Chains A and B, each alone.
Chain A
Amino acid sequence: MATNFPTSLDALSNPTSTDGLNNPSHSGQHADANDAIEALEAKVGVDSSAVSTSLDFLVTQANASGSSGLASGTYYTTSSNTNTTSTATTTTGVVSYLPFLVERTTTFDRIACRTGGTVTGTSTVRLGIYNNSNKKPTTVLLDAGTVAATATSTIYSITINQTLNPGWYWLAHVVNSTTGTHTFFQNADALPFGQMPLTATFAFQPNYSQTGVTGAFATASPTTTGNSRVLVALRVA
């Protein structure tokens, strides 16, 4: 029999220990198996396959940065239900975690925040990316380092080379220390997960933050109260 795969699944006959070599045909058994293996190889495809129906081609296309829907050189943050930003004073040492969804494997080359209309002195601002588990920030994926923010209405960014696979992440922002005052763009109306955790009394738990962080990022132990989310953005490489 010729293989029907991938149009349909084959129903190959298995010989028993008492069958002769001619019934079922020994050579026919090998031919059927060989045909099925070749059909499987064709469906999977060779490395860098150009056959548009092969799985290798389709997976490569799905993971290609060009198909992520994100434009190279553009900053992205989490979508908002108001599409507006605001500014607010952040508390020194309090980490703001902003949920961030990656739909296709994408490489980012900058992480950034933006100061608002009030900045005095110098603020040491740390930016980074956390992994996600159970819809909470967990371990540090990237501590990008700090920026020295000294001017109002200015984007401060750090060069990174970070590829993120599909999934949820948390963009972290904290003012480690400051000699003055500082406001930053907020993404307070960010639409986080499709499902939002509730408290025992069914109150929303939209925000996560963590106090007492005056140095490098470490494994998160966030609370559900505190700052609203600071707007942190990633630029597509």
Chain B
Amino acid sequence: MSREVVFGIGGYDPSKPNDNIVEIIDTPDEVDSQSEE
């Protein structure tokens, strides 16, 4: 599972709802050549 946390224009802003996080996207992992230490 891969997660993307999307902030609205301007990025992190504690004065906006949810700190300006506008979307959280969870997608299944893809089979690729990426490696992670």
Interface residues of A (CB under 8 A from B): 83-88, 110, 112, 116-117, 124, 126-127, 144-148, 151, 153-161, 185
The answer, yes or no, to whether B15 is at the interface (CB within 8 Å) is: no
Known: A124-B12, A144-B11, A159-B22. A87 touches B36 (CB 8 A): yes
Once the chains bind, are A147 and B37 in contact (CB under 8 Å)? Answer: no
- Chain B neighbourhood of A156, CB < 8 A: 4-5, 7
Chain A hits for B5, CB < 8 A: 147, 151, 154-157
Which of B4, B6, B7 gathers the greatest number of chain A CB atoms within 10 Å?
B7
Known: A116-B37, A145-B11. 10 other contacts (CB 8 A): A86-B36, A145-B7, A145-B10, A145-B12, A147-B7, A147-B12, A153-B2, A156-B7, A159-B6, A185-B36
B: number of interface residues (CB 8 Å):
19
Question: Does B7 lie within 8 Å of A84, measured CB to CB?
Answer: no
A153 CA to B29 CA, complexed, in Å: 11
Asked if A146 and B11 sit within 8 Å, CB to CB, the answer is yes
Q: Which residues of B contact A116 (CB under 8 A)?
A: 36-37
Other-chain contact of B12, A83, A146, A151 (Cβ < 8 Å): A146
| Cβ of B31 under 8 Å from chain A | no
- In angstroms, Cα B24 to Cα A154, docked, is 10
Report which B residues bind A (CB closer than 8 A): 2-13, 19, 22, 33-37
How close is B37's CB to chain A, nearest CB, in angstroms? Answer: 5
Instruction: Determine chain A's interface SS by DSSP, over half rule.
Output: strand
> B28 to chain A: closest CB distance in Å?
14
Q: Give min CB distance, B27 to chain A, whole Å.
A: 10
Q: Is the CB of A158 within 8 A of B37?
A: no
B36 contacts A157, C-beta separation under 8 Å? no
21 pairs across A/B with beta carbons < 8 Å? A84-B33, A84-B34, A84-B35, A86-B35, A86-B36, A87-B37, A117-B37, A127-B11, A145-B13, A146-B12, A147-B7, A148-B19, A151-B3, A153-B36, A155-B4, A156-B5, A157-B4, A157-B5, A158-B6, A158-B7, A159-B6
* CB-contact partner of A158 in B2, B11, B33, under 8 A: B11
Flag if B35 contacts A159 (CB, 8 Å): no
Interface pair B7/A157, CB less than 8 Å apart:
yes
- Are A157 and B2 touching (Cβ within 8 A)? no
Q: Which of chain A's residues have a CB closer than 8 A to the CB of B12?
A: 124, 145-148
